[in-house]
Amino acid sequence: MARRRRIYEGKAKVLFEGPEPGTLVQYFKDDATAFNNRKRGTITGKGVLNNRISEYLMTRIGEIGVPTHFLRRLNMREQLIKEVEIIPLEVVVRNVAAGSISKRLGLAEGTTLPRSIIEYYYKSDELEDPLVTEEHITAFSWATPQELDEIVSMALRINDFLCGLFFGVGIRLIDFKLEFGRLYNDDDVRLVLADEISPDSCRLWDVKTNEKLDKDRFRRDLGKVPEAYQEVARRLGILPEAGPTDFKGPKVMQ
């Protein structure tokens, strides 16, 4: 890890300078945090699984014509991505009430929402990612009205696609968080899907049992945390081959 210039270190990932201009290496850690860093822990094997799960989902999303930052996997914990200018928003899409919307609006967890709802949170650790409106976003120039229109249409397309993809493997996509970035190409700028899509950034419930297969197992101390991430990868058909040094997760469940 010391061989390259570290560009940025977040709670679950590190970004390094890439091998060519305009690229970065995204390294997935096993570290997990919740409640704005108040709860910290390690989920053994999470980085390996999220690297693979995010690669898989970004690749499928790219195939339906939504551009993403993903270029290729480099190794068990790293992927090569395009360098983008991150829009400082967490774009949350919700299909079913859970987590903060349940608390804020008094909705029982598991209540299907009347339609998919998009929310925006301003990315700021100091402010603990406050919920913001389109008015804030455009007034403070975090994104232009045109960019926001594009973000909404990309987020809804991704939601429809991922709902079907997960439903096909017996998982209900309750909600998830997306981030977008600006990709500069000569004089032209376009928005691409960035960051990651993984059980860290989604709520995924088993269709039949409603069992949680995501980071809520860590947030809420439900146990079997690495197993949940592994089960998502297994159902998607992308469990990485166990490497003795890097992946020490539990045995594959058949």
Q: Which stretch binds ligand TMP (CB under 6 A): 58-66, 75-83, 135-143, 200-208?
A: 200-208
81 near ligand TMP, judged by CB under 6 A: no
Both tokens of 219, joined, read: 């947030």
196 near ligand TMP, judged by CB under 6 A: no
Select from 133, 60, 129 the least CA-distant residue to 99: 129
Q: Which residue of 28, 176, 218, 247 would you call a contact of ligand TMP, by CB under 6 A?
A: 176
CB 58 within 8 A of CB 197: yes
Encode 119-158: b = buried (16+ Cβ within 10 Å), e = exposed.
Answer: bbbbeeeeeebeebeeeebeeeebbeeebbeebeebbeeb
Kindly report the number of other CB atoms within 10 A of residue 201's CB atom: 20
C-beta closer to ligand TMP: residue 18 or 121: 121
Both tokens of 147, joined, read: 């960019």
Select from 172, 176, 163, 175 the least CA-distant residue to 205: 172
C-beta closer to ligand TMP: residue 44 or 100: 100
172 near ligand TMP, judged by CB under 6 A: no
CB-closest chain residue to ligand TMP: 99
Encode 204-233: b = buried (16+ Cβ within 10 Å), e = exposed.
Answer: bbeeeeeebbbbbbbbeeeeebbbbbbbbb
Amino acid in position 187: D
203 near ligand TMP, judged by CB under 6 A: yes
Per-residue DSSP letter, 80: E
Q: How far is the CB of 3 from ligand TMP (least distance, A)?
A: 29
Q: How far is the CB of 4 from ligand TMP (least distance, A)?
A: 26
C-beta closer to ligand TMP: residue 23 or 33: 33
46 near ligand TMP, judged by CB under 6 A: no
C-beta closer to ligand TMP: residue 110 or 250: 110
Torsion of CA 235, 238, 241, 246, to 10 degrees: -100
Q: Which stretch binds ligand TMP (CB under 6 A): 14-22, 98-106, 158-166, 225-233?
A: 98-106
C-beta closer to ligand TMP: residue 24 or 202: 202
Q: Which stretch binds ligand TMP (CB under 6 A): 54-62, 94-102, 144-152, 240-248?
A: 94-102
Q: Which residue of 41, 62, 99, 170 would you call a contact of ligand TMP, by CB under 6 A?
A: 99
